[in-house]
């Protein structure tokens, strides 16, 4: 079964008009699916439902064939990793920040995620490598480096699905470009769902789902959507 199936999902916050109305889409394994839409479209709400912070009120959400309303919340959050904008760093070493959510990771797994996120070269340049203190008490990482570290940390947990919520917000053009390459690499290893504001910037997504006022307005490849816009 596909890693994520969202099928006619409906959700309203208490006393509010529906935030999601009959939303359906499927994410393909090890591909990048972008959820695009203006502010208020329902993107964040959709990510909240996928993590079971709230329960959807109509329709179904399936994770690799399992109905998430029948899975316990801890299990859902083990299978789905989430990275948002501006990841804070712990007062500790680079290694502690990396293995925070996956203690006991072996060196080969750590080397893999560092290579995938392009952080291997950064770590080589740190005075004590992985054991260099970062954050307030140590070396300052740039915004883009912190976001790549957050993605490496998430991947180390071997999630089935990685949710990325505006992870390139607040970055300069160069850092954003590097981070996009990391996202593309991550999406070859893991199923990635990514929230974006604008269609124009998500050219590398396998499929885009355009949300507007809680409804799916269109789905397709970047080229298909530009042709119908
Ligand atoms: P997006 O992420 O695309 O900007 P949201 O999912 O945040 O959209 O919001 C969808 C709709 O739900 C909006 O009308 C928003 O005002 C409303 N909404 C979001 N969060 C809450 C909340 N906690 N309580 C009530 N309404 C909310
Ligand atoms: P904003 O409108 O907030 O500036 P963008 O539309 O530029 O946001 O991008 C939002 C998200 O889309 C970011 O999280 C970024 O990682 C992702 N993104 C943009 N372009 C690409 C791309 N070519 N490949 C992969 N991800 C992308």
How do residues 78-124 score in pLDDT, each as one tens digit? 999 999 988 888 889 999 999 998 999 999 999 999 999 999 999 99
Are the C-beta atoms of residues 142 and 154 closer than 8 Å to each other?
no
What's the confidence (pLDDT) of residue 225?
85
Report which of 167, 177, 188, 206 is spatially closest to residue 47, judged by C-alpha positions: 167
This prediction's pTM: 0.88
Cβ contact 68:62 at 8 Å: yes
Q: How many Å lie between the centroid of ligand 2 and the Cα of residue 15?
A: 32
pLDDT given at position 201: 66
CB 183 within 8 A of CB 12: no
Residues of the chain with pLDDT under 70: 200-201, 228-229
Contacts for 58 with CB less than 8 Å, ≥ 6 apart: 8, 9, 10, 11, 22
Q: How far is the CA of 43 from the centre of ligand 2 (A)?
A: 14
* Cα 211 from Cα 168, distance rounded (Å): 19
Q: Which ligand is nearest to the CA of 14?
A: 1
What span, in angstroms and rounded, lies between the C-alpha atoms of 136 and 91? 6
pLDDT for 14 = 96
Six-digit token pair at 7?
Answer: 């099928």
pLDDT at 229: 58
The set of residues, in sequence order, having a beta carbon less than 8 Å from that of 91 and lying 6+ positions away, is 133, 135, 136, 137
Q: Could you tell me if the CB of 197 is within 6 A of ligand 2? A: yes
Rounded to the nearest angstrom, the distance between the alpha carbon of 168 and the centre of ligand 2 is 6
Instruction: List, in sequence order, every residue forming a beta bridge with 4; answer none if it has no partner.
Output: 27, 63
Query: Which of 117, 143, 178, 202 to probe ligand 2 with, by most ligand atoms within 8 A of CB?
Result: 202
Secondary structure of residue 164 in the 3-state scheme: strand
* Ligand 2 proximity of 200 Cβ (cutoff 6 Å): no
Read off the tokens for 227: 């042709």
């Amino acid at each position: 079964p596909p890693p994520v199936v969202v099928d006619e999902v409906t959700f309203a916050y208490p006393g509010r008009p529906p935030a999601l109305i009959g939303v359906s889409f499927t994410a393909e394994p090890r591909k990048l699916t972008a959820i695009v839409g203006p502010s208020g479209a329902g993107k964040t709400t959709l990510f909240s439902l996928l993590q079971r912070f709230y329960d959807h009120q109509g329709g179904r959400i399936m994770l690799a064939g399992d109905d998430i309303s029948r899975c316990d919340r801890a299990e859902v959050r083990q299978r789905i990793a989430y990275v948002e904008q501006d990841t804070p760093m712990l007062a500790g070493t680079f290694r502690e920040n990396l293995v925070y959510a996956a203690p006991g990771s072996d060196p080969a797994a750590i080397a893999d995620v560092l290579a995938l996120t392009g952080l291997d070269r950064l770590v080589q340049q740190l005075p004590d490598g992985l054991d260099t203190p970062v954050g307030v008490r140590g070396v300052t990482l740039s915004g883009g480096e912190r976001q790549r570290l957050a993605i490496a940390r998430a991947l180390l947990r071997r999630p089935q699905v990685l949710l990325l919520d505006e992870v390139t917000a607040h970055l300069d053009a160069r850092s954003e470009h590097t981070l996009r390459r990391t996202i593309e690499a991550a999406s070859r290893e893991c199923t990635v769902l990514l929230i974006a504001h604008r269609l124009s910037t998500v050219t590398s997504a396998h499929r885009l789902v355009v949300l507007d006022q809680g409804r799916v307005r269109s789905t397709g490849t970047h080229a298909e959507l530009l042709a119908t816009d």
